[in-house]
Amino acid sequence: MPDHTKDKGDTWSPFPETADIETSNDDYATRFRGKTGAWMLDVQTRLTRKLLAGLERGTLLDVGGGHGQLAHPLADDGWRVTVLGSAKSCEHRVRDLTSSGRAEFKVGNVIELPFPDKSFDVVICFRLLTHCEQWEQLVRELCRVSRGPVICDYPTSQSVNAIAPMLFAAKKKLEKNTRHWRLFKHREVTDAFAATGARIVARRKQFALPMALHRALKCAGLSALLEGCCRAVGLTALCGSPVILRAESVRG
């Protein structure tokens, strides 16, 4: 978390939750470099597009989306994207979109979003819930500003990730830039959305095997084959992670 006592330039932020500053930088993007990284992002994009299927293209808020993983493909799909980041530096990897007018960028507090209620047709949030200490407040804000669905991701302990804390040291040695994160039970995420008056209508699970394993294999074709087999036998549906969910309001 940035030191709030003095200005540190574009990475300085006055807000209490600033995990997206790190996920928006070039070092974090190296976790998805090469063919294996591109394949993992393609899985994420494909499942997200399925959860958006059937919706008329409109306004879409990407909270903490400075990593650009979904801002780029969704802008290509015709969504009017606004990316919100905790600091000016979070615009770096989406500047091609903002400079061309294909997206907007706003600096703001991710757990106190600077928008009125029901400001956007869709709100998405990826790579943030797991690093956010006040994650339930983040969920409330995502639901508050959406007049349509909320789509976000989270890693679950109800998967092979259950052993991840024991392997953290090895994972950090392998990936260099990994950091501590929170694993969720499906029920606690369901309850957090229910507390806002929303219900989860769909969950899509990305990988049956750990993403760190796929990075270690460095063979996108083999990873795709392994995951295809897991999906075919129902292992991914049973215990896949991370999970991408779609939640909708049940009020009014």
Taking 60 as the threshold, does the pLDDT of residue 13 lie above it?
yes
Taking 60 as the threshold, does the pLDDT of residue 85 lie above it?
yes
Question: What are the tokens at 235?
Answer: 């292992």
Least confident of 2-6, 52-56, 66-70, 84-88: 2-6
Angle formed at CA 69 by CA 31 and CA 63, multiple of 5 degrees: 115
For range 64-90, the mean pLDDT: 98
Taking 70 as the threshold, does the pLDDT of residue 25 lie above it?
yes
Q: Mind listing the pLDDT tens digit for each residue in 174-203? A: 555 455 679 999 999 999 999 999 999 999
Taking 90 as the threshold, does the pLDDT of residue 28 lie above it?
yes
What percentage of the chain has pLDDT greater than the value 70? 88
Least confident of 5-14, 50-59, 229-238, 240-249: 5-14
Residue type, 206: Q
For range 21-49, the mean pLDDT: 97
**pLDDT tier, 15 (very low <50, low <70, confident <90, very high otherwise):** very high
Q: What DSSP line would sit under 116-174, residue for residue?
A: -TT-BSEEEE-S-GGG-TTHHHHHHHHHHHBSS-EEEEE-BSSSGGGGGGGGHHHHHHH
What percentage of the chain has pLDDT greater than the value 90? 85
Choice between 138 and 169, residue whose per-residue pLDDT is larger: 138
**pLDDT tier, 163 (very low <50, low <70, confident <90, very high otherwise):** low
Taking 60 as the threshold, does the pLDDT of residue 166 lie above it?
no
| pLDDT number for residue 160 | 76
| pLDDT number for residue 187 | 97
**pLDDT tier, 168 (very low <50, low <70, confident <90, very high otherwise):** very low
Q: Mind listing the pLDDT tens digit for each residue in 136-160? A: 999 999 999 999 999 999 999 988 7
Distance between CA 189 and CA 200 in Å, rounded? 9
Quick check: pTM over 0.85?
yes
Taking 80 as the threshold, does the pLDDT of residue 252 lie above it?
no
Residue type, 103: A
| pLDDT number for residue 181 | 79
CATH for the stretch 9-153+183-206+245-249: 3.40.50.150
For range 22-30, the mean pLDDT: 96
Strands 122-125 and 59-63: parallel
Domain segments of the chain: what residues? 9-153+183-206+245-249
